[in-house]
Amino acid sequence: MFNAEPSVKALVPFVSVHNMMRLVHHIGIETVLSELTDAIEADFRRWPMFDKTPRIASHSRDGVIELMPTSDGVVYGFKYVNGHPKNTAEGLQTVTAFGLLADVATGYPVLLTEMTLLTALRTAATSAMAARYLAPAGARCMAMIGNGAQAEFQALAMKAVCGIDSVRLYDIDPQATEKTRRNLEGSGLTVVACTSGEAAIEGAGIVTTCTADKQFATILTDNMIGTGVHINAIGGDCPGKTELHRDILRRADTFVEFPPQTRIEGEIQQMEADYPVIELWRVVNGEVPGRRDARQVTLFDSVGFAIEDFSALRYVRDWVAGTDFQQSLDMIADPDDPRDLFGMLQRAH
Amino acid sequence: MFNAEPSVKALVPFVSVHNMMRLVHHIGIETVLSELTDAIEADFRRWPMFDKTPRIASHSRDGVIELMPTSDGVVYGFKYVNGHPKNTAEGLQTVTAFGLLADVATGYPVLLTEMTLLTALRTAATSAMAARYLAPAGARCMAMIGNGAQAEFQALAMKAVCGIDSVRLYDIDPQATEKTRRNLEGSGLTVVACTSGEAAIEGAGIVTTCTADKQFATILTDNMIGTGVHINAIGGDCPGKTELHRDILRRADTFVEFPPQTRIEGEIQQMEADYPVIELWRVVNGEVPGRRDARQVTLFDSVGFAIEDFSALRYVRDWVAGTDFQQSLDMIADPDDPRDLFGMLQRAH
CATH at A328 = 3.30.1780.10
* Residue A316 and residue A289 in one domain: no
Does B4 have pLDDT greater than 80?
Answer: no
The rounded distance, in Å, linking the Cα atoms of A32 and A21 is: 11
**B126 found inside a domain:** no
b/e per residue, A262-298, with b = 16+ CB within 10 A?
bbebbbbbebeeebebbbbbebbeeeeebbeeeebbb
* Residue B311 and residue B295 in one domain: no
The rounded distance, in Å, linking the Cα atoms of A234 and A267 is: 9
Best of A30, A51, A106 to substitute, by most chain B Cβ atoms within 10 angstroms, is A106
- Of B269, B289, B304, the domain-final residue: B304
A224 or B165, higher pLDDT = B165
* Residue A51 and residue A137 in one domain: no
Give B 142-161 residues with CB within 8 A of chain A: 147-153
* Residue B18 and residue B153 in one domain: no
Give B 5-24 residues with CB within 8 A of chain A: 6, 9-10, 14, 16-18, 20-22, 24
* Residue A151 and residue A248 in one domain: yes
On chain A, the residues whose CB falls within 8 A of the CB of B337 are: 179
The rounded distance, in Å, linking the Cα atoms of A147 and A250 is: 27
Distance of CA B98 to the CA centre of its chain: 13
Amino acid at A161: V
> How many angstroms away from the CA of A21 is the closest CA of chain B?
6
Domain count, chain B: 2
Best of B52, B56, B96 to substitute, by most chain A Cβ atoms within 10 angstroms, is B96
* Residue B54 and residue B139 in one domain: no
* Residue B289 and residue B320 in one domain: no
With CB atoms and an 8 Å threshold, state whether A334 touches B25: no
* Residue B109 and residue B150 in one domain: no
CB A231 within 8 A of CB A298: yes
**pLDDT single digits (tens) A190-217:** 999 999 999 999 999 999 999 876 677 7
Name the residue facing A107 among B63, B78, B330 (closest C-beta): B63
Give the confidence band of B1 by pLDDT, cuts at 50, 70, 90. very low
CB A345 within 8 A of CB B24: yes
With CB atoms and an 8 Å threshold, state whether B96 touches A87: no
CB of A57 within 8 Å of a chain B CB? The answer is no
**What does the pLDDT read at residue A218?**
84
* CA-angle at A52, arms to A48 and A55, nearest 5°: 155
Name the residue facing B78 among A20, A64, A67 (closest C-beta): A67
CB of B310 within 8 Å of a chain A CB? The answer is no
Give the confidence band of B3 by pLDDT, cuts at 50, 70, 90. very low
**pLDDT single digits (tens) B235-273:** 866 778 888 999 999 999 999 999 998 998 899 999 999
* Residue A176 and residue A233 in one domain: yes
Q: Closest by alpha carbon to B70, among B54, B57, B52? A: B52
Does B277 have pLDDT greater than 70?
Answer: yes
The rounded distance, in Å, linking the Cα atoms of B228 and A64 is: 47
* Residue B164 and residue B299 in one domain: yes
Ranges of residues in chain A with a pLDDT under 70 are 1-7, 213-214, 237
- List the CATH number of the domain containing B182: 3.40.50.720
* Residue A250 and residue A207 in one domain: yes
b/e per residue, A174-198, with b = 16+ CB within 10 A?
eebbebbbebbeebebebbbbeebe
Name the residue facing A9 among B92, B183, B342 (closest C-beta): B92
CB of B348 within 8 Å of a chain A CB? The answer is yes
> In which domain, by residue range, is A96 found?
8-117+307-347
On chain B, the residues whose CB falls within 8 A of the CB of A58 are: 51, 69, 71, 76, 104
**What does the pLDDT read at residue B6?**
60
**pLDDT single digits (tens) A129-144:** 999 999 999 999 999 9
CB A121 within 8 A of CB A312: yes
Give the CA-trace dihedral at A228, A229, A232, A235, to 10 degrees.
-130
Name the residue facing B116 among A93, A183, A333 (closest C-beta): A333
**What does the pLDDT read at residue B9?**
72
**pLDDT single digits (tens) A81-97:** 998 988 988 888 888 99
* Residue A228 and residue A113 in one domain: no
Does B80 have pLDDT greater than 60?
Answer: yes
**B28 found inside a domain:** yes
The rounded distance, in Å, linking the Cα atoms of A98 and A119 is: 9
